[in-house]
Structure 1
Amino acid sequence: MERTAIVTGARRGIGLAVAEELAQAGFRVVLAAVSPPQEAAGVVARFRENGWTAEYQSVDISKVEDRRDLFDRTEERYGKIDVLVNNAGVAPQVRADLLEMTQESFDRVLSVNLRGTFFMCQEAAGRMIAAKRQGGALYTPRIINIGSISAYTASVSRGEYCISKAGVSMVTSLFASRLAEEGIPVFEVRPGIILTDMTAAVQEKYQRMIEAGITPIRRFGRPKDVADCVMAAVSGRLDFATGQVLNADGGFHLRRL
């Protein structure tokens, strides 16, 4: 039986790695990101060259009409949605001291990372519940939110990002609790220091920290490391652990003396 996954923030980095793993596992993948379609044409072409079913939709998850259109179009084309991976997120445009953070930056980051993620979960949940009540035991949808170690690690030069990711952690707990009775597991995958465009500007700083032992596994994380955790959550083998956080962080979460 063919399954369909939506992955947000999927044009590059972690989202693209997740989409690739899902496609390799046989999912029909809807790649969603804020970029215009022409900027993702090469990615979609590569997926199709590999024999994978994939399409791209330009989506700003902070906008209600974009969110609904994404789900409407996916359901119209493929029917029910089996997996939602909420990966889309933004970093502050300027790393400013906490005492200088602007309201505009705060609102921008939280509107995408937190509000957008919450309402993506809400939209998916309603549709998954309806489909599950019609589809019976063979339909096993799941939601995976991509969080961050910034959920509990204070970075005073990007406080708005930390706050947004702390919120995503609670969003995961809330939906895992609410959807348990519906048989829909919800998970958080929590990346650490991952080599992506978002960390490129501070790569040298992080490299020194890694070499000094800030992570027990002394290397940058790769997008595939995060994707592997997503696939574990999608596999069905963790369903009884709904609400679980999967740390893709090289052991950063370990408290060591």
Structure 2
Amino acid sequence: MATDRRPVALVTGAAGGIGGAIASALGAAGFDIVLTDRDISPLDVLKERLDAVEVRSTAIGYDLTDDHARENFVEAAFAAFGGVDCLVNNAGVSVMSRGDILDVTPESFDRCVAVNLRAQFFLTQAVARRMIGRSSSRRRTIVTVTTVAVDHHVGRVLAEYCISKAGLSHSVQHWAARLDREGIDCYEVRPGMMKTDMTATTRERYDALIASGFVPAARWGDIGEVGRAVALLARGELSYATGQTLHIDGGMRFKVF
């Protein structure tokens, strides 16, 4: 396998704000980018932004829950720039309706588990298998984006979302334990309060929490900070830290007294 090409990153959920920030940060770090989302039409703007700074990128439409299309999608992703050196599991869906756990519907629960956990587990499996089957002089990386609300925090109106992300978080440890010997490092990134479409309906509530001291940094997080964290891990410079979690949460996990 040629080693003179640039490293390549595959970013899922690239049409969202955090996905775009991750792609931009990886581009700045020297990666070519394969962008994917279920609907790729919103990716045109991101591609233009990457083109403007001379970052090569391509967009491939794919519904992560489609088992039958997965292998063809992974093959296309690897073929785009001659390989994939970093997978970023960023895609995710929120609850269908925020509310009491007693009112969670099977449809909302199943949707969160299908996209946030099951689909990402099997995409990671497919990408890892292909990485193992292709020799490389580089350390490869798999970075999974979860949420601050999987440990020490309980989202009262997001039960099924948090539960699915907690399972995804735990899966990172299993992948790290299995793939280290294959030259693949696995990490988790946990964003805190970020201004995204997912938090748009709760801005006032979160503003009040920040003002009350719930976030020691006393501010919202910037999605660019998530992007830069992913890029740091993707470069493969922290291989002895495989399986670790990087908290981009302004200190929300602390219990300050």
Taking structure 2 as the reference length, the TM-score comes to: 0.94
Amino acid at match of 1:160: E
Unaligned runs of 5+ in 2: none
Matching residue of 1:14: 18
SS at match of 2:220: coil
- Provide Cα deviations, 1:221-251, integer angstroms capped at 9, x if missing partner: 0111111211221132211010000000001
Residue number in structure 2 paired with 1:227: 227
Measure, in 1, the Cα distance between the counterparts of 2:242 and 2:235.
13
Task: Give matches, 1:1-257, under 5 Å.
Answer: 1=4, 2-35=6-39, 37-131=40-134, 134-135=135-136, 138-152=137-151, 153-257=153-257
Q: Kindly provide the amino acid, as one letter, of the partner of residue 142 in structure 1.
A: T
Q: Secondary structure at the match of 2:219?
A: coil
Q: How many residues align?
A: 252
The offset of 1:66, in angstroms, is 3.7
Mapped contact 2:187–2:233 kept (Cα < 8 A): yes
**Distance between the aligned counterparts of 1:211 and 1:67, measured in 2?**
44
Contact 2:113 2:164 in 1 (8 A): yes
8 Å contact kept, 1:149–1:190: yes
How far the C-alpha of 1:72 sits from its partner, in A, is: 0.9
Residue 47 of structure 1, CA deviation? 1.6
CA contact (8 A) 1:29 1:54 kept: yes
* Paired residues of 1:18 and 1:230 also in contact (CA < 8 A): yes
Cα 1:109–1:211 shift into 2, 3 Å: same
Q: Which moved more, 1:104-113 or 1:71-80?
A: 71-80
**Higher RCO, 1 vs 2 (CA within 8 Å, ≥6 residues apart):** 2
Quick check: which one's helix share is greater?
1
* Deviations 1:191-210 (CA, angstroms, capped at 9, x unpaired): 01111111011011101100
TM superposition outliers: structure 1 runs of 4+ over 6 Å? none
Task: Supply the AA of the counterpart residue of 1:4.
Answer: V
Instruction: Give the superposition deviation at 1:155.
Output: 1.7
Shift of 1:96: 2.4
